[in-house]
Amino acid sequence: MASNACLKAKAQSIEIGDLRLQAIGPSAPSNSARATRNPTSSKLLNEQALQHLLPLLSPHPPNVPLSSLHEYDPLKTKRAAQNDGTKSNKKPLLILDNENAAKNALVAEFELYVKRRLLDTKPEKLKTELMSKTKVPRGIVASIEQQCNWNAGSFGSKFRSLKNIDVWHEFIRTSFNNLASQVPAEVSSTSEKPSSSTVGVASSSSKPSSLRKEEIRSCHKSLTSILMPLIRNDNDLQSTIFATIKNTMQAVTQYSQDMAALVQASIIKFVTTPEADWYSSVPLPTKAIDLVPSFAWRENTILNDGYLPGLPPPDKPLASKLFDLRHIQHLKSCHYGRLQQSNANNLVWTSLDDDWTPGTISPLVTTSLQAIYNNKLETDLKNLFNGPSFKKMVRYVLRLLLRLHLAPLREQRYHAAKAKAANEKAKKIEAVYQSKQKQLKSKWNGVRNALRRQQWELQKKTEKIKLSDHQRQGYEARIGHLTKVLGSLKEDRERLKREDCDEQAEKDTSSSSKTSSGFAAEEASHNDVPDNEGDDVKEELDEMAVHDDLNSTGYELDEIVTDKSNDDISARRLGTLQGILTRMIYNENVSSLTEDVMKSYTKKLDLSDKESQALKLIYSNIKPFIISVDQPKYCRVNLLFFGNALLRLCGYHQFCMRYAPAVSTGSLYALSIDAAVIYELFGKPLDMKRSQGITSANEARRRKDQVFGCLFDMSAINSICQKNGIEFMHRMDISPANDASMQGQTVKPRQISLYAQRLKQEQSNPVPPSTPHSLDTLMTNIAEKEKERDRLSRTKRDCSNALMKHRQSMKNNDPAAQKFDDVKVERTLKNSLQQATRDVHSVQDGLANLRSTRYTLQKAEEEQAKKGKKKSKDKESPLPPTELKKTTRVEEDPRHTILKIDTNDLLISGTDYGVVTLATTVTHSVSDLEAIKAGQMVRLGKPTLITARDISWKTGQHQFNKKMKHDKAKSPSGQAAQQAETIVAENILSTAFNLETFQDRYDRIREQTQPSVPFTTSPSLNEGAALLLGEPSLSKPRSWSRRNVNTLKKL
């Protein structure tokens, strides 16, 4: 197993754990590596040792036997070396002094990687996957650097002209088929004659299937509770750490906002001013008047000399992929670092750059943090491009354009009804605010709150005996005055309420008299004056038109009688045309529609000339924005940008969609940390260099557990993660409310409830029923029951035949005197038939029970036979409770429990979940349900309603928002924040459709960030947010007294 490079060296010994492996030199009689066992240990060679040894013993991967290929992974080797933390000082196993040697090393690693993948993947599928890669697989370059004893990143810096991805693609094209044909033969030969070392390694490194790692999940815990005890006890150090975390959150939020702005600026330039050589023919912008009728121009400020902003995507393949991680890193380097040289790989990126930098990067945003948040930005872009927004935008645009051209009156009616409804709502709100009843109630609430406040303070100070006579007299005088004012306000409210009732009664009386007097006149003139039904139809249309937006089909509008002069097509026909146009846009590749193409899609639909012209116009303008399967997903952004402009022009801004990631100005990102970030932020305060010997971020990545242990209590973290069924992977997100989200990989088996465990055991291990029968006696009883069933069935059949014959004879007998006797005989025969039927059913039920018992016993015997003498090692779940009391809350099947509760004490409730009203719960007693079942009148109880406002009030969010609004209006920092919010609201980035406007608005928004920071980061605001989440307070500002804390705890 040792290679030629190992044979040239002297004998080397490597100690791993309790094992020592010695490589034999050329003078040794054996040309293989032998393992000598330590006398004090009996452990086999484990997987970690193998991961350390394989790179050392196999510098040339093709010489490694195939039987151990699926145990070797370059990425695992890298991770194992990082966790070990030891750096080898031995002579390097590889010496790369030129580019050819580096290329050969890459090819050797590629061959080992492909052979390992061929063991568990089909060659055809694997080749397609490997050819589509844009980067070399992870761990390949790291393995070469480890063999050369180089630092991370040295390979790329030494061989800059060597393109790893080009070597990869050339290797796959030339060598993949040969490797695919070699691997099956090697696998069969190694499987027939396995070596002893191979068998030992495979047996020791194979993990049980129950411990396989799954997807990444997270669990939450308070940040203070998982800190090191030394840090929790040191107030100064704890304050320093929390201040650093808060400042870093602000810095990474600003960095993310700036990077998102740079990406959005590049997208705007890509959509509005692309390069001409990206197209086969020069694209032209869409003239608004050619696509949108002039009556629908409701926000024409977005037009550029009468043209809609946005061009179709490029129809030629670009040299570089846009808006991925490499492009984001290029933007960061160009605007915040040393400008990279322009070459063939980033000419496309350079063309989208602009001489505009939003701001500077804070020193707190280290290189590791930049990489983390650049990855998050790339993830946001992928979600946008791969999400459903493209198809939704196609649906909105087609539906809007079809309405504008084929149903213009209906589209105008929607906007008119919407404006009318908004005006009526504003008038109602204004009338409510100006009503005297509302004003009196507001004053009464203020006086009541002040009275309660004085009473609470008097009671509190009296209990603590901290009140003088003069202070007591002052409190009593204020309480007496407020009581009088509250009484007078109550009288005014009651008087005003009586006046309103009298006015309403007078109005009802006058309206009833007018109605009765108008009946005669209406009857007299009924034949002369026709009914004015047009007003009723118009009102009904206005009510329904408010909801006739782009998400509505509008089929109910077809049922209302409209004016015959209306040329609008029906809503159902409009939906049919939309479906046809959508299929043509997605399926056809022609630039304009022809009559033959349209006939193939509208075989049974007779199109008018107006409809044909509308379909052709819409198709020719929208088809260039529809990308094919071969085009990259980022080309979807052109339609999103163009569709947003079209929707805003026509007044449908609520249907616009995001085409780029956006960071809200008032938001605060969570801080994502790993080992490198902890070292860069807290290396000096925690003195990691002296205590742990960690001197760089790369070394921190290799010693993750030690780095995290300097700041956090790792035993507590591991315990929390273990309880949640995950394995901590040294990643954590810290929210602004000091909530730590620990990320880890799930490990099987997952936690399941005891109830689910019992059900699973019942399904897999059926318990034999408690019966005195055995299988032998059951077979006899079943045979007897079957005979009894057959006998009773014959009796039933005889009774039925006798009844049928008697009824036939009754029809033939004419004498009326014999009719009484015939009826009596018929009744007797009918009763005997009913009794025979009941007997048959009873026997069938007993037979079914016996068969069920037999089946259960047979299953139990089969399970016992399978198990044999083996005993199950799984713990039996506890038995379910046999009795349920009034206070018992348990998740159980009703068949497992016995209710020993008086039914009169039971309350049965049902809950209906909604959107506006989150939950509506109605509760009934058993007596009420019995009365309802009997058809009696029952007075139902008042349902319990839960709304979002109730939740906001109970959790303290309402009080917190009210206090924040008060502080914002009174404090200088709050007033500055209000002014900043006003300026930000005037400069919305989503309405910027050209690069100059976007950059100007973002510069104004960024200037308003600093005035709002002092208010958003004030101690009182942070204290209130922490109390809402139940976090322990770091300080006790005066604005949040103990009363506020107790109140929130009660809520």
Q: What is the DSSP letter of 91?
A: P
pLDDT (0 to 100) of residue 536: 59
Q: In the numeric block, which tokens belong to residue 74? A: 């370059």
| Per-residue pLDDT tens digits for 1006-1025 | 887 777 777 776 766 666 66
Q: How far apart are the C-alpha atoms of 826 and 818, rounded to whole Å?
A: 12
pLDDT in tens, 942-962: 888 888 878 777 777 777 778
* pTM, rounded to two decimals: 0.62
Name residue 910's beta-bridge partners: 922
| More confident call, 352 vs 533 | 352
**Token output for 908:** 């049965």
Mean pLDDT of the 278-295 span? 90
Query: pLDDT grade, residue 712 (50/70/90)?
Result: very high
Query: Is the pLDDT at 75 greater than 80, yes or no?
Result: no
Give the pLDDT mean for 395-404.
94
- Between helices 1009-1016 and 995-1007, what is the axis angle to 10°? 40
Q: What is residue 37's predicted lDDT score, i.e. its pLDDT?
A: 37
Q: What is the pLDDT of residues 225-253, one digit of tens each?
A: 999 998 988 888 989 999 999 899 989 99
Nearest alpha carbon to residue 394 among 608, 621, 96? 621
With bands split at pLDDT 50, 70 and 90, how would you rate the model's confidence at 377? very high
The answer on pLDDT for 142 being more than 90 is: no
Q: pLDDT (tens digit, 9 = 90+) per residue, 40-62?
A: 333 333 444 434 434 433 434 44
Residues 225/716, Cβ–Cβ less than 8 Å: yes
In the predicted model, what is the mean pLDDT of residues 169-190?
Answer: 72
Whole-number average pLDDT of the chain: 76
Q: pLDDT tens digit string along 479-504?
A: 999 999 999 998 988 888 888 888 88
Q: Is 1004 helix (H, G, I), strand (E, B) or coil?
A: helix
Which two structure tokens, joined as six digits, stand for 676?
A: 């490198």
Indicate the range of 276-280, 413-417, 524-528, 599-603 predicted with least confidence: 524-528
Q: Within 13 Å of residue 695, how many CA atoms lie on the same side as its CB?
A: 1
Residue 695 above 70 pLDDT? yes
Residue owning tokens 């952004």: 637
Please check the confidence at residue 895 and state whether its pLDDT lies above 70: no
Please write the tens of the pLDDT for every residue from 732-791.
999 888 889 999 988 765 556 656 666 665 555 555 556 677 777 888 888 888 889 889
Q: 189, 182 in Cβ contact below 8 A?
A: no
Residue 113 has pLDDT above 60, yes or no: yes
Percent of the chain residues past pLDDT 70, beyond the cut: 73
For the cut 60, the answer to whether the pLDDT of residue 180 exceeds it is yes
pLDDT band at 586 (very low <50, low <70, confident <90, very high): very high
Instruction: Please give the full DSSP string across 653-710, using - where no structure is assigned.
Output: GGG---SS----TT--PPEEE-HHHHHHHHTTTTTHHHHT---SHHHHHHTHHHHHHH
pLDDT higher at 396 or 687: 396
**Residue 731: pLDDT band by 50, 70, 90 thresholds?**
very high
Which has more pLDDT, 954 or 363? 363
How sure is the predictor about 8, in pLDDT bands with cuts at 50, 70 and 90? very low
